[in-house]
Amino acid sequence: AQSVTQPDIHITVSEGASLELRCNYSYGATPYLFWYVQSPGQGLQLLLKYFSGDTLVQGIKGFEAEFKRSQSSFNLRKPSVHWSDAAEYFCAVGDGMGNQGGKLIFGQGTELSVKP
């Protein structure tokens, strides 16, 4: 069965420091991978997605993620964190095929706090 693991429930970084949020997936075929961000009490916003091609994906707000098939990972990175990046981040995997349609499986989320 498909699954997504985000090992870090909560991460705190200083403003201006670099950030890496981890995501590991379990999936038998080529996965379609997503990172979403959620501010408190709000819906989810797509940061970036990987379907195929270049394994380093650029997203909005200065985020990027790298797909590593050998490690079943899709970690999210940002070189310099801003206070406004404080939010919850979700990794998701989907296949977009067959009777599963566009169903996504979400990780548990990582809450990011930013210290001034």
Partner 1 sequence: DGGITQSPKYLFRKEGQNVTLSCEQNLNHDAMYWYRQDPGQGLRLIYYSQIVNDFQKGDIAEGYSVSREKKESFPLTVTSAQKNPTAFYLCASQRLAGVNEQFFGPGTRLTVL
User: What residues make contact with partner 1 under the rule CB under 8 A?
Assistant: 9, 32, 34, 36, 41-46, 49, 51, 90, 94, 96, 101-104, 106-109
Q: Which is nearer to partner 1, 16 or 96 (CB)?
A: 96
State the minimum distance, in angstroms, from the CB of residue 80 to partner 1: 26
Q: Which is nearer to partner 1, 51 or 83 (CB)?
A: 51
**Pairing relation of β-strands 24-26 and 3-5?**
antiparallel
Q: Report how far apart, in Å, the C-alpha atoms of 41 and of each of 4, 89, 103 are.
A: 23, 13, 23
Q: Which is nearer to partner 1, 31 or 114 (CB)?
A: 31
State the minimum distance, in angstroms, from the CB of residue 54 to partner 1: 16
Residue 42 contacts by C-beta under 8 Å, 6 or more apart in sequence?
none
Beta bridge partners of 42: none
Q: Which is nearer to partner 1, 3 or 14 (CB)?
A: 3
State the minimum distance, in angstroms, from the CB of residue 45 to partner 1: 7
Contact 107, 90 (CB under 8 A): yes
Find the radius of gyration of the CA atoms of the chain: 14
State the minimum distance, in angstroms, from the CB of residue 41 to partner 1: 7
